[in-house]
Amino acid sequence: MENIREQNIFLIDKKGKPNLIGSKCLGCDHMSFPAKEVCPYCMTNGRSEEILIGKLGIVVSATTCHTAPKGIQVPYTLGTIEIDYGVHVLAQITGNTIRKGDKVELVIYSSVSVESAEETIGWKYQIVEGGGQ
Ligand SMILES: [Zn+2]
């Protein structure tokens, strides 16, 4: 199986495991997600390398959302996840109970719009079995 790259946001590796695509600044080692051309920390331009991060993370904060754009079921949980190198990402989190400090893993999902029949592939985090406090 070849790597599958989606929207320059995530990549599914040869083992079928998803990773987020971030960048490491070669000027100051700052890690960013999504990958950035210009480092938001030292403003170095065009000197970064791609890093694959975010297979696992820890819930920093989470909130339940009761309104959403068309096509997204409510309620759903949105939270901040700390991944590799201390990078924080905002993502949907799924699981029965979601608490600060829970371990989560990156998962890829697809959904099909009822109206346009277009398939969307997205990413979110789900609570790791037994990963709660
Ligand atoms: Zn930098």
Count of beta carbons in the 10 Å neighbourhood of residue 93: 21
Same domain, 33 and 63: no
Domain with 19, as residue range(s), is 4-53
CA of 45 to the centre of ligand 1 (A): 8
Show the tokens assigned to 14. 């040869």
Domain boundary among the residues 15, 35, 53 is at 53
CA of 54 to the centre of ligand 1 (A): 20
CA of 49 to the centre of ligand 1 (A): 11
Do 80 and 100 meet the contact criterion of CB atoms below 8 Å apart?
Answer: no
CA of 27 to the centre of ligand 1 (A): 5
Same domain, 63 and 41: no
Same domain, 60 and 11: no
Same domain, 78 and 15: no
Do 11 and 52 meet the contact criterion of CB atoms below 8 Å apart?
Answer: yes
pLDDT in tens, 79-89: 999 999 999 99
- Of the candidates 83, 106, 93, 86, the one whose C-alpha atom is nearest the C-alpha of residue 63 is 93
In-domain check, residue 13: yes
Same domain, 117 and 79: yes
pLDDT at 71 over 80: no
Range scoring the smallest mean pLDDT among 2-6, 61-65, 106-110: 2-6
Same domain, 67 and 43: no
- What contacts 35, CB < 8 A, 6 or more positions away? 8, 21, 22, 23, 48, 50
CA of 30 to the centre of ligand 1 (A): 5
CA of 34 to the centre of ligand 1 (A): 14
Number of domains observed in the structure of the chain: 2
CA of 29 to the centre of ligand 1 (A): 6
Same domain, 92 and 123: yes
pLDDT at 114 over 80: no
Same domain, 64 and 98: yes
pLDDT band at 8 (very low <50, low <70, confident <90, very high): confident
- Of the candidates 6, 98, 19, 97, the one whose C-alpha atom is nearest the C-alpha of residue 51 is 19
Q: What is the rounded distance in angstroms from the CA atom of residue 62 to the CA atom of residue 82?
A: 12
